[in-house]
Structure 1
Amino acid sequence: MRTIAWLLCTLGSISTVHANVEKTIFLGPSAIVLPNVRPGIDELDVDTLEPAELPILATQLSVKFPTESAPRGLDSWYLLRGLEEGRRYEVRICWPAFQPTDFWLDTFTITQVDTPELIASLAGYTDRARTSPSQKLRYTADGSSTAQSLLFLRVQAAASYYSTNKTLMQYPPLVDVDIILEPFILNVLPRSLGPAAIYITVVAVAAWFISGYTYRWIIAVSKEYEEKDHKE
């Protein structure tokens, strides 16, 4: 199922595949040095994506049906690391069409996350993941003073179907997803579209030369027939 999701996501980067791909585009934030205090950012036990090392995460997300208190279902949190300040990125989440789900993706800097609402959401996610939730967010540089450009990614997932099965409505199954972090080329084009852009450019240039050659050949042939007609 994850292979199907990945294929749909790859296609979604070329042409929109409705109900299978959701994405958000953002710029890499300014690099910051994380204070070496505990508990640290790595102790949150959230999955990490990096454009160079781990750009694709195949996982399963917990979902629930929308309620008044949670209109967007359940929150899941991830960490985006290894970003470049000012560079444009895209995060896509892809899932099979036979698992109808609504997704919302948002990115936050460290300072933006440090609010009661978002801290509670992050703590709730880590609690579901059987980790110890923090009452106060703190961060660690793992003994390193190197500045880092990083963001938190919040994925909200709500089941979007109806069933007469009461158990299914109360406990919807996990959704197979691929989460993909992709940088843009020159802040214009997603990297996955680079080969397609090169192919289209080569075809366009080749078509221009071939059309010019074909036009000259047609003109030459028509002139040749005109000369023959005059001689006759």
Structure 2
Amino acid sequence: MHLLSIISYICLLVVPAIANVEKTIFTAPHSVAFGDARPNLIDLQLVSLSSKKLAVRTVLPVVFPVEKHPRGLSSWYLLDGLRPGQRYEVRICWAATQPTDFILDPFEVTTVFDTPALLQDLTTYAEERQSLLAGEDFDGISEPTAVKRSALFLRIQSAANFYTTNKELMQNPPPVNVDIILDPYLLNVFPQSLLPTAAYILVLAIASWFLSGYAWSKVQVFVQDKQHSD
């Protein structure tokens, strides 16, 4: 009975989650030194995700796909302090009540700097962000860029994906609340964030095995008693 009470309590803790998830999987590049020449990574003032900060909660602006923004608006982030050769995934999670299409693209830093279209997109985002942050403290990368590091740019493109008769919403779709999560893989096989889920499944499996054995023994006793009474 005690075991049944524990299992019942665990089941009560399980609640449904109504949310959407988009992700991309990548392998961290080799460490390189980007130099201290200005402008540099620090000057961009991008939000950074790293082993010290695996998740960020933010709000992303969206637009409906148009010729100028066929895949929506671009937001740029820095994936910093990665372990070269290690596998990672980046997830973006948002409420299902805000229908949105997200596209996640990781780029090596040198690729962005050597590609005019990507560099222009990044520069535009960085300038708009800096104008909004004017006079505010910036909590981004602080290590000198001359120090060797494994880093990637992450571009998130967000496009509204709904239809309504409300003209105001169709012209100005509301921004979307999101969680952006950097998840390293253990042994390049298993996402670190799934460890609690794996432990939970293992506990349920072990508990089920003991419970089935207990139930089977009771069934056997009942059958034997029934045979004797007959």
Q: Which runs of 5+ in 1 are unaligned?
A: 1-14, 132-139
Amino acid at match of 1:28: A
State TM-score, norm by structure 1. Answer: 0.76
Paired residue for 1:12? Answer: none
Amino acid at match of 2:31: A
State TM-score, norm by structure 2. Answer: 0.76
Paired residue for 1:86? Answer: 85
Given the alignment of the two structures, is residue 163 of structure 1 paired with residue 171 of structure 2, yes or no?
no
Aligned partner of residue 169 in structure 1, secondary structure:
helix
Paired residue for 1:44? Answer: 44
Paired residue for 2:109? Answer: 110
Provide the rounded CA distance (Å) in 1 between the counterparts of 2:210 and 2:169: 60
Amino acid at match of 1:117: A
For the structure 1 residues 34 and 222, does the alpha-carbon distance in structure 2 shift closer, same or farther, using more than 3 Å as the test?
same
* CA positional deviation for 1:219: 5.1
Paired residue for 1:8? Answer: none
Equivalenced residue count is 206
* CA positional deviation for 1:186: 2.5
For the structure 1 residues 143 and 45, does the alpha-carbon distance in structure 2 shift closer, same or farther, using more than 3 Å as the test?
closer
Contact 2:73 2:158 (8 Å CA) reproduced: yes
Provide the rounded CA distance (Å) in 1 between the counterparts of 2:111 and 2:63: 26
| Identity, % of aligned positions | 47
Aligned partner of residue 198 in structure 2, secondary structure:
helix
Contact 1:77 1:153 (8 Å CA) reproduced: yes
Paired residue for 1:194? Answer: 195
Aligned partner of residue 65 in structure 1, secondary structure:
coil
For the structure 1 residues 141 and 49, does the alpha-carbon distance in structure 2 shift closer, same or farther, using more than 3 Å as the test?
closer
Q: Which runs of 5+ in 2 are unaligned?
A: 1-15, 132-140
- The C-alpha deviation readout for 1:9-37, integer Å capped at 9, x for no partner, is xxxxxx9966x211111122211122121
Say what the alpha-carbon RMSD is for the aligned residues: 2.9
Provide the rounded CA distance (Å) in 2 between the counterparts of 1:215 and 1:167: 63
Contact 1:36 1:141 (8 Å CA) reproduced: no
